[in-house]
Amino acid sequence: MSRGRFWLLLATIGGLAVAGWMLSATGIDKVLDVIGRFGIGGFLAYCAYSLGTVALLGAAWASAAPPLGIRDSFLLFGWARLVREAAADILPFSQVGGLVIGIRLLIVRAIPTPLANASVLVDLATEMAAQIVFTLFGIAGFVVLRSGGADPDMLMTPILAGTLVMVGLMTAFFLAQSRILRIAELLLVRMLPAVSGGIADARAELARIYAQPGRVALALAFNLAAWVASAAGAWIALVMMGVKLPLVTVLVMESLIFVLRSVAFALPGAIGVQEVAYVLLGPLLGLPAEEALALSLAKRARDLVIGIPALVAWQASEARALSATRSGVTRGSLRQNCAVKPIAEQSRTEGEERQ
């Protein structure tokens, strides 16, 4: 575990160095000039739009679990997805850390542990399947857009390789979900021993979810809508920065950026990888490097503005839950002492009477 944290920290520092170098090489003055066109109002509107995308992701996760009541279910899973995304993007964790925190939040809110574990596996599987669909659209669009231009092979190879990796991961994920449940249980036992659940119960929940194909299809549809909405958000951000680029072009670009980010899933927020991808891919689709890098930095700022309050609120809720647990234990101890004392006095009185 210590060695893993060391390599994660080293990779994060390397990613920050690469991002800084890209910013310097592109021209920090040019990038800041593009960002300055955004304005506070435009940036806040972009953040509000992004919250709608997170709501779609929460709906996808909620669809993968039997309903608790539609409104309560979507609100709870949406909140869990927001914290899960914030932890993965901001905290020095990989995506696994965000998943564990999201599961923990559901369990604290009285979602059964087997259901929380199984639903997140279905959510991951449908999210990967939706991303592959969106990526294939992006590859086709990239080929069409570049057919009359320069050689597109520079990025086509890693994009195709990333797509094949995702297809392989999705296939392995569907074939080995029971084993993944076991890995998830081991992680929970190590990190959150109080909330780890039985693997057999989780398998049963997984089978129950897949026995309802309508729910799985709904989760897939919501995840696909979230991918498209997230890409459209980049187009909205560019428009607010005064950059004119066709919506279809931005959708193609974002779908391929998502692939390159997914390949770097072990890095928090794909730091460094996202910046390099934008600077290399943007000019191929008509987006100058400084504007592409400005878009990447706007996304980073949005993640901080949304993610930090979410993590603070989550920590506050954890503190309240811990305080309530301790208060309950204290009250229980007092009740037990009060009950024991009269019994002891009664026993002493009966002994005196017998004497």
Tens digits of pLDDT across the chain (355 residues): 556 565 566 666 666 676 666 666 666 776 777 778 888 888 999 999 999 999 999 999 998 886 665 567 888 999 999 999 988 888 766 667 788 888 889 888 888 888 888 888 889 888 988 888 898 888 888 887 877 554 445 555 666 666 666 666 666 666 565 565 565 556 555 544 444 446 667 778 888 888 888 888 899 899 999 999 999 999 999 999 889 899 989 999 999 898 888 776 666 667 778 888 888 888 888 899 889 888 988 998 899 899 999 999 998 888 887 776 666 655 555 555 555 444 444 445 455 554 4
Please report the pLDDT score of residue 157 as a whole number. Answer: 64
Give the pLDDT of residue 56.
Answer: 95
What 3-state DSSP class applies to 28?
helix
Please state the φ and ψ torsions of residue 197, each to the nearest 5 degrees.
Answer: -110, 175
CA-based nearest residue to 126, from 250, 203, 50, 209 = 209
Cα dihedral sign, 303-305-308-311: negative
The residues, any chain, with a CB within 8 Å of residue 198's CB and separated by 6 or more, are 113, 114
Cα gap 288→251, rounded to integer Å: 16
Supply the pTM of this predicted model.
0.76
Within 8 A by CB and 6+ apart from 350, the residues are: none
Q: Which pLDDT value is given to residue 354?
A: 47
Residue 60's pLDDT is: 93
| pLDDT, position 289 | 87
Residue with token string 């689709």: 285
Q: What is the pLDDT of residue 191?
A: 47
Cα dihedral: 114, 197, 3, 21 (round 10): 30
Q: What is the pLDDT of residue 162?
A: 61
Closest CA to 93 of 11, 19, 21: 11
Q: What is the model's pLDDT at position 327?
A: 66
**Contacts with 285 (C-beta within 8 Å, 6 or more apart), sequence order:** 142, 145, 146, 245, 249, 252, 253
End-to-end CA distance of the chain: 65
